[in-house]
Structure 1
Amino acid sequence: MLLSSLVDWSRIMFAMTAMYHWLFVPLTLGMGLVMAIAESKYLRTKEDFWRETAKFWQKIFGINFAIGVATGLILEFEFGTNWSNYSHFVGDIFGAPLAIEGIVAFFLEATFFVVMFFGWGKVSDRFHHFATWMTILGATISAWWILVANGWMQNPAGMHFNPDTVRNEMIDFAAVALNPMAVAKFFHSVISSWLLGAVVAMGICGYYLLKDKRNRFALESIKLASTLGIVASVLTIATGHLSANQVAEYQPMKLAAMENLQRGQQGAPLSLIGMPNKDAHPVLAPEEKAWNFNLEMPKVLSFLAFNDFNAYVPGMRDIIEGGYTKRDGTIAMSADDRIASGKVAIQALADYKAAKKAGDEAAAAGYRQVLDENFVNFGYGFIENKADLVPNVGMLYYTFRIMVYLSVFFLLVTILGLIFSKRTITKPAEHDMRRQGWFSWVMLISIPLVYICSQCGWIVAEVGRQPWAIQEVLPVGAAISDLNASSVQVTFWIFVCFFTAMLIADICIMVHAVKKGPRTDEALPAASER
């Protein structure tokens, strides 16, 4: 019971830290692009309006950047404090991209951040413009290496297990750095962050339109942000499809749980909206009715997974029971067989170390062979109940759909934002976006909605991987540190208070900056004067 409590508290603490951190990262990436484009317009036009516009968005970027760094550092330290078995087992691999991120990317963005934020009037416009783009490039490169580490957890590759040190060691850096799961995750995460930054910028401008002040700034920024948002929305959908391909290939249980797919089939349907039966479970209650209600699109899941409307998509029960033919032509092992094989691997490792200690090289070689033959299932040896191999279906099903439907909603918002802003800018006498008060409210309300969408994406990615810390290599129960559960509980609540205070401070500072607004001229008169 203590171990279970320790695992649960360690997981919830890491999840809380990661979710707080992800409140700041996407705005850094997205707002960085907004400010950089605004400064590019200043460099081209030499118009003071665009310089002040760039300065304003840089201020929002800077506030968010500083607090994001603090939460990110704490997140990385938790691998050593709460997940020391994980760090020992794969530290040689997992630590490499994080080290590169800190040494190269972080120092790159931090160096140019200083020039960008404090260099106005002190360096040339061209060099300042260069520093701004290098700052956002550094932030993006930083995201690349962090997502390489995360992608490796989703699809471990380029490694070899050393039984003498009981560690996985990197043998192919390219396989780690160019992991297809990491590539898909990088493009989807970064581009969706562009969308978040665009929507937040539009929401702030919606506030100005409702207040009927700084009208030119609001309209020009909406035009800029909505254009970026449309591009980001389309690319987010495209990269989401790429991510679905990778999930289907390397994490079939996650895909099946996202769709509440109990039994696999060719031409598998995609659920548009439904209500999974919470009492149904592919292991604990396999005969229960899977749905209370479901509206589906025939064959669409097969296409999303494998770009083939007739492809076979395994369900949760198929993955547990095994016996189906996988895409590579091999027959899937059952969960029972994989657990048995994993226990053989764990025992072979113990026997190998005992034989090495006794100096019996012949016996050690035999045990090493058994270990190598069964290492592919090593992580399953720590699984006590195969029901634990099924993640939380209800959470995955609903968060995935919230993410998808909100993404479509933001595409519509950005399209309308571009249409309304361009009409007002080009023909202010005939069209006035300020008359569309409802749309200003839509943009403003979209700020919390886009954060909900972003958080749902990471819930799908990380909860869907459970119970694995490293997919099919190390479950979370074997990855934790040997700590007292009560100490983790105390630290959790301390961090909740600390992060909440930081979030409140961040919001208050940004609200103050928004109320103060940019120092820009007003080309459009107030609505009351027209």
Structure 2
Amino acid sequence: MLLSALIDWSRIQFAMSAMYHWIFVPLTLGMGFIMALAETKYYRTGDDFWKETAKFWQKIFGINFAAGIATGLILEFQFGTNWSNYSYFVGDIFGAPLAIEGMFAFFMEATFFAVMFFGWDKVSKKFHLASTWLTIGGATLSAVWILVANAWMQYPTGAALNPDTVRHEMISFSDVALSPVAISKFFHSVISSWMLGSIVVMGICGYYLLRKRNERFALESIKLAATLGLVSALLTMVTGHMSAGHVATYQPMKLAAMENMYEGGEKAPLSIFGIVNGDKDKADWASDKSDYAGDFNISLPTGLSILSFNDPNAYVPGIKNILEGGYTKPDGTIALSAEERIQRGKVAIQALADYRAAKEAGDEAEAAAQKEILDANYEHFGYGYFDKVEDLIPNIPMLYYSFRLMVGLGLLFILVCLVPLIMIKRNKEKFINMRWYHWVMIISIPLVYIASQAGWVVAEVGRQPWTIQDALPVQAAVSNIAAGAVKTTFFLFLALFTLMLIAELSIMLHAIKKGPKNHVSNDAQNETK
């Protein structure tokens, strides 16, 4: 019971910290790209309008950037405080990309950030433009290494267990940094962040159009942001399809839970929307019972097979199939049952203990024998920490609805970006007076954050109960500390992050209300007077 409380509070604290941090990160990446594009226009045209436009978006970027750093530092500290067993077990691999991020990408951001903000009219236009692009380039490089680390948690590759130290050691840096999961996760996360930044810019500009002020600034920024947002939304769909294929290959349980699919098969349908039977607990899903998927489901025939393997006839396993095993996996091997993997995992754990005991006793022959047993069963090592197969099932309702929320809102944002591009080109004055659409752009700001957070819920909750997929479950990764201590710090961090968010929003809203320099309309100036 005490361990369960510790695990729950540690997970809740880390989830809360990560979700607060992810409020700031995608806006940094998206807003940074837009400010760099605006300054590029200034460099090419020499028009001071674009200089002031770039400076305004840089101001919003800077406010958000500072808050993102603070939340990110606290998040990283939690690996050592709340997840020390995890840090010890895989720190040699997980720590490497984070160290690169800190030593290279972060310092690159910090160096050119100062030039970007304080170097206007002090350095050449070309050098200042380069500094702006290098600032957002550094932020993107930071994202690269953080996402590489996260991708390794989803698909651990390029590493091996050293039984003498009981630590994972990297055997191929390229396998870790260039794994297919890392590549697709990077492109999907960064490109979707461009979409988020675009929607936020459009929403801010919608506010100016509602107030009948800064109209040229608003229209030009909307055209810039809507173009980037539309391209990003379409590319996000493409990279999302890539990610779905990797989930189907490396994390089939996550995919089955995302689809609320009890039993799979060939020509698997894709659920468009349905009602998850929330009364069923995990033990029901692990047994031979009926009424799993609820009473309502709209599906696309063969859609899941195409999404997963680009083949309408492909076999996609459901939760029951994964637990029972016996189907052919994408690599051509036959899947073992969850029960057999649990038993083999326990053999691996025991072999590791026996190996270390033999080493300590100086019995090299016995140590070699146990090492052979460990190697033969290590693929199932993490399963040895479980006693019940139903514990391998993640939170199905949360995954199912989060995935559909993410995809549905992503499709909506395509329209949100497309309409202004068409209307401004056809009839600019009519678009300026489309007050209802200005509200659509403003309301899209919270919606795009909901979509962004839903994406991370799918990625991280879908990996549960693992911290490292198939290798280290959460119950073996948590620190040996009191649950009450984690609970106390949870509320302290919650208060701190909330105050930080309120402060950031207050400063940002003040900057937005003040508006960009030299672009206040005559009507707005008269109102002020």
Q: How high is the TM-score relative to the length of structure 2?
A: 0.97
1:49 paired with 2:49, answer yes
2:60 maps to which residue?
60
Q: Write the deviation string for residues 424-450 of structure 1: whole angstroms up to 9, x where unpaired.
A: 5xxx5xx33222110000000000000
Q: Which residue number corresponds to residue 345 of structure 1? A: 348
What secondary structure is seen at the aligned counterpart in 1 of 2:254?
A: helix
Equivalent residues, number: 523
String of CA shifts for 1:229-286, please: whole Å, max 9, x gaps. 0100110000000000110110000001000111111110011111011234421563
Alignment partners' CA distance in 2, 1:69 and 1:148: 19
User: CA separation of 1:300/1:524 partners in 2, compared to 1, >3 Å: closer, same or farther?
Assistant: farther
After TM superposition, the structure 1 = structure 2 runs for residues 146-157 of structure 1, keeping only pairs within 5 Å, are 146-157=146-157
Q: Give the conservation status (yes or no) of the 8 Å contact 1:223–1:422.
A: no
Counterpart position of 2:384: 381
Find the aligned partners of 1:273 and 1:160 in 2 and give their Cα distance. Answer: 41
The aligned runs of 1:514-529 (5 Å cut-off) are: 514-521=512-519
User: Partner of 1:450 in structure 2?
Assistant: 448
The reply on whether 1:490 has 2:493 as its aligned counterpart is no
Name the residue aligned to 1:511: 509
Structural mapping, 1:136-151, within 5 Å: 136-151=136-151
Equivalent positions of 1:13-412 (< 5 A) are 13-280=13-280, 281-283=284-286, 286-412=289-415
**Aligned-pair CA distance for 1:525:** 7.4
Deviation at 1:54, TM superposition (A): 0.2
Gaps of 5+ in 1: none
Once the two structures are TM-superposed, the CA of residue 329 in structure 1 deviates from its matched residue by 1.5
Distance 2:277 2:333 in 1: 32
**Percent identical across equivalent pairs?**
64
> Residues of 2 paired with 1:219 and 1:112: CA distance?
29
Q: Deviations over 1:281-321 (max 9, x none)?
A: 42156333422210111001100000001100000000001
Between the aligned partners of 2:475 and 2:172, the Cα distance in structure 1 is 28
CA contact (8 A) 1:266 1:310 kept: yes
Measure how far apart 1:417 and its partner are.
1.7
Secondary structure of the residue aligned to 1:292 is: coil
Q: Render the CA deviation track for 1:482-508: whole Å, top value 9, x for unaligned.
A: 000000000000000000000000100
- State the one-letter code of the partner of 2:135: T
> What is the distance in 1 between the residues matched to 2:502 and 2:77?
23
SS in structure 1 of the partner of residue 518 of structure 2:
coil
AA aligned to 2:152 is W
Q: Counterparts of 2:120 and 2:461 in 1: how far apart (Å)? A: 44
Correspondence for 1:12:
12
Q: How far is 1:393 from its partner?
A: 0.6
Q: Indicate the residue corresponding to 2:458 in structure 1.
A: 460
Of residues 411, 417, 420, the one that matches 1:417 is: 420
Question: 1:468-526 CA distances to partner (integer Å, 9 max, x unpaired)?
Answer: 00000000010000000000000000000000000000100100000000013468978
The one-letter code matched in structure 2 to 1:206 is: G
User: Pairwise CA RMSD of aligned residues?
Assistant: 1.4
* Contact 2:227 2:421 (8 Å CA) reproduced: yes
Cα pair 1:217 1:520 within 8 Å, conserved: no
Task: String of CA shifts for 1:336-372, please: whole Å, max 9, x gaps.
Answer: 0000000001111111111111111111111111111
C-alpha separation in 1, matches of 2:290 and 2:477: 33
Question: Who is 1:477 aligned against?
Answer: 475
Contact map agreement 2:467 2:473 (CA 8 A) in 1 = yes
